[in-house]
Structure 1
Amino acid sequence: MNLLDIFLELLVVVIAAVSLVANSLVLLCFTCSSRVRAQVPGVFIINLSFCNILIAVLNMPSTLLAIVKCQKPFGDHFCYTVSFMDTFLTSNTMLSMAALGIDRWIAVVFPLTYSSKMRLKNAVLMVSYVWLHSLAFSLTALLLSWVDYSPAYASCTLHLREGDDERRGHFTLFTALYHACTFALSLFIMCFAYLKVLQVARFHCKRIDVITVQTLLLLVDIHPSVKQRCLVEQKKRRRRAIKKICIFIGSFVLCFAPYVITRLTELAPSVKINCHWGIMSKCLVYTKAASDPFVYSLLRQQYKKALFEMRNRILGRNSYTLSGHSSPSGMENEYYTQRVNKLLNDDCH
């Protein structure tokens, strides 16, 4: 066993541990916080976290054992089950991210009708479609015996068995269709949705800049430092919107594209995939399961507050606000800041 194999083993262990802990925290927030449960996007996030936990429990350990043993980690029947789950869970996570993009698009582009268009019932229907879509491809692969251990990825996954060249054409068509209907479709939906969100965000930022100046001129008694803070805050909001969209789309492409391109490249009979590259591309897919909780939930204010409340509950503390240390001038400036932000937020929504 060389150093690269040891590195890959440690990488899978770290990814599995982070994925299991982070996604479990998301489920815990959903269970303990009524505010998180009340949000419609929580349905998509809980589905995504559930799939990521299953990947961390089923697929990552099988890959780790395959790297250690340098062979199929389990018997045929168990490997078929893991292969089925690999196809199902991977497509489910991709489509769940696309569903989150659709939710953000409706929320930003159609804010007045969002509550009627994205009810809990509609979110459940979208998740049901995601499950049926994923189940259709994974069941087809299982019934046609296109699931097995692939040495190139050290994983039980979508794989054409050796000597089955007669069905190579059908397997090639199925694989291309599978990636087109999962990766390509999800990427297209995310790009369309988030670019529309960015368009609307830029439009609102231009309006907000004008309104900010007009509002600050009306508040003649406001401290100059507060005015400056308000203007800086607008620039930060614009940058945050662009940064978040880049993270959503960029992390999706970075984690899934190498693996998908590798799977499509190996369809050519003359191409042989290097096992270390294949395992690394598979680890990138696993990395998405570990990063999703931070990208979509744990770094958001609602989840931070839910985690803080759970920590206080465990430690037996009561939440309180340190308002006694604020000076009168500081309280006045803070009041005006909140007043300006309220006006701006009301305009945005």
Structure 2
Amino acid sequence: MDAAEVACAAYLAALSALSLASNLSVLLCFARSADIRRQVAGVFTVNLSVCNVLTAALHMPATAAGVARRSRPFGERPCRAVGFLEIFLTANATLSAAALSVDRWVAVVFPLSYSSRMRRRDAAAMLCYAWLHSFTFSLAALLFSWLRYSDAYASCTLRAASGDSRFAAFTLLFHASSFALPLLTLCVAYLKVLRVARFHCKRIDVITVQTLVLLVDVHPSVKRRCLAEQKRRKQRAAKKISIFIGSFIICFAPLVFTRLAELLPFVDVDRRWGLVSKCLTYSKAACDPFAYCLTRQQYKKVLADVADRLLRRKPYPSSGHDSSVGTENDFCLQRIG
């Protein structure tokens, strides 16, 4: 192996460990907290975390072994099984992210009727579609013998003879329904959420300015802090939504466009670029727990309580009353993530 491949194998090992630790932490929080289990979005979060755990436990080590050996790391049947799971888990993860965006759109845009619009059976129906969609494409690839080892990606993945029109149609349909459609769903849902959040920000800004004008005896430093908090409140929702959409595009787009370009007979994918695009896709498994769960106060408290119990220390102290809690905008921010 050259230095780049050694670095790639080391990165995959570290990424696998981080993905396992973070996603298992999310599952631990779900198991320990009744409040988290009561949330409808928890169904999608658990499904996404399970997909990420399997990716970190199976695909990342298999790809690292392929990089190290510069050949197929195991036999034909295990290779097909790994390729089958790759398609299934990737499609399932992207559809779960799209389902989470729909859930948060309903929660923010229709807060008063959320419980009637997004019920557990609705979440189960969306989850069943994600599983059926993923299994259908995985099974089709297996039946047509399109699951083989690819040296360009150092992994068992979709691969067929050049010029196969059926494979080209399958690849286009798979990426259109498993990448383009979820991305469109994410963009539409989160942009609507952002519009609602900005609307509430404007209402709060008007009240804040009117209050500061009336309170003539307030110290200037207090006014500065209020205005600074007002500015941070405007940026908070935009940052979260940028993370949701941006991480999806950065992690999946390079590999998707590479696989589409690979359909052209004159395109030959360089091994280094193939490994980079593959590693970016794997990085999504490590990003998801922090983007959707572990940065939220509810999950932090559960993990801190678990750590305190293990270390036999005092229970995790309450953070007290947050001055921003109760405002309409913070309600939106909590719903966003």
> In the alignment, which residue of structure 2 is the partner of 1:104?
104
Alignment-derived partner of residue 231 in structure 1:
227
Q: Is it true that 1:181 corresponds to 2:165 in the alignment?
A: no
Residue 26 of structure 1 contacts residue 298 of structure 1 at CA under 8 Å; is this kept in 2?
Answer: yes
Aligned partner letter, 1:110 = F
Whole-angstrom CA distance in 1 between matches of 2:330 and 2:157: 50
- 1:313 corresponds to 2:309: yes
TM-score by length of 1: 0.89
Q: Are 1:118 and 2:114 counterparts?
A: no
1:342 corresponds to which of 323, 326, 331: 326
Aligned AA (2:89) = L
Residue of structure 2 equivalent to 1:203: 199
Aligned to 2:270, which of 267, 274, 288? 274
Q: Whole-Å Cα distance in 2 between the matches of residues 275 and 217 of structure 1?
A: 63
Query: What is residue 92 of structure 1 aligned with on the other side?
Result: 92
Distance 1:266 1:125 in 2: 35
What are the Cα deviations for residues 67-98 of structure 1, in whole angstroms up to 9, with x where unaligned? 11111111111100000000000011111111
Q: Structure 2 residue aligned with 1:283, among 276, 279, 290? A: 279
Residue aligned with 1:156, SS: strand
> Aligned partners of 1:77 and 1:343: how far apart in 2?
57
Query: 5+ unaligned residues in a row in structure 2: which ranges?
Result: none
CA RMSD of aligned residues (A): 2.3
Instruction: Tell me the matched-pair count.
Output: 333
Instruction: Please state how far the C-alpha of 1:274 moved relative to its aligned partner.
Output: 0.5
Q: How far apart are 1:345 and its partner, in Å?
A: 5.8
Q: 1:219 to 1:321 in 2, by over 3 A?
A: farther
In the superposition, relative to structure 1, how do residues 172 and 26 fare at CA in structure 2: closer, same or farther (>3 Å)? Answer: same
Structure 1: 5+ residue stretches without partners: 324-333
**CA offsets, 1:203-226, max 9 Å, x none?**
111111112234556777876654
Amino acid at match of 2:124: V
* Post-superposition offset of 1:231: 3.2
**1:230–1:40 CA distance, 2 compared to 1 (3 A):** farther
Go from structure 1 to structure 2 and tell me whether the alpha carbon gap of 1:215 and 1:346 turns closer, same or farther (over 3 Å shift). farther
Structure-2-length-normalised TM-score: 0.92
Match of residue 9 from structure 2: 9
- Corresponding residue number in structure 2 for 1:81: 81
Q: Which of 1 and 2 has greater Rg?
A: 1
Partners in 2 of 1:82 and 1:221 — Cα distance? 69
Letter matched to residue 195 of structure 1: L
Match of 2:256 among 246, 256, 260: 260
Give matches, 1:160-171, under 5 Å: 160=160, 164=161, 168-171=164-167
Percent of residue pairs bearing the same amino acid type? 55
Q: Do the aligned residues in 2 keep the contact of 1:212 with 1:344 (CA within 8 Å)?
A: no
2:240 alignment partner in structure 1: 244
> Cα distance, 1:230 vs. partner?
3.4
Structure 2 residue matching 1:112: 3-state secondary structure: coil
C-alpha contact (below 8 Å) 2:83/2:147 kept by paired residues: yes
Whether 1:193 and 2:186 are equivalent positions in the alignment is no
What one-letter code is carried by the residue in structure 2 that aligns with 1:317? Answer: R
Question: Shift in Å at residue 229 of structure 1?
Answer: 3.0
Instruction: Compare 175-184 and 214-223 and name the one that shifted more.
Output: 214-223
Deviation of 1:156 (Å): 0.6
> Is 1:149 equivalent to 2:145 in the alignment?
no
Name the CA shift for 1:345/1:246 in 2 (closer, same or farther; >3 Å). closer
CA deviation after TM superposition for structure 1 residue 228, in Å: 3.9
Residue in 2 that maps onto 1:67? 67
Q: Give the Å deviation of 1:13.
A: 0.7
* Aligned AA (2:207): I
How far 1:344 moved relative to its partner?
5.0
Q: 4+ residue stretches of structure 1 with deviation over 6 A?
A: 218-223, 346-349
1:179 is aligned with what amino acid? H
1:293 equivalent to 2:289? Answer: yes
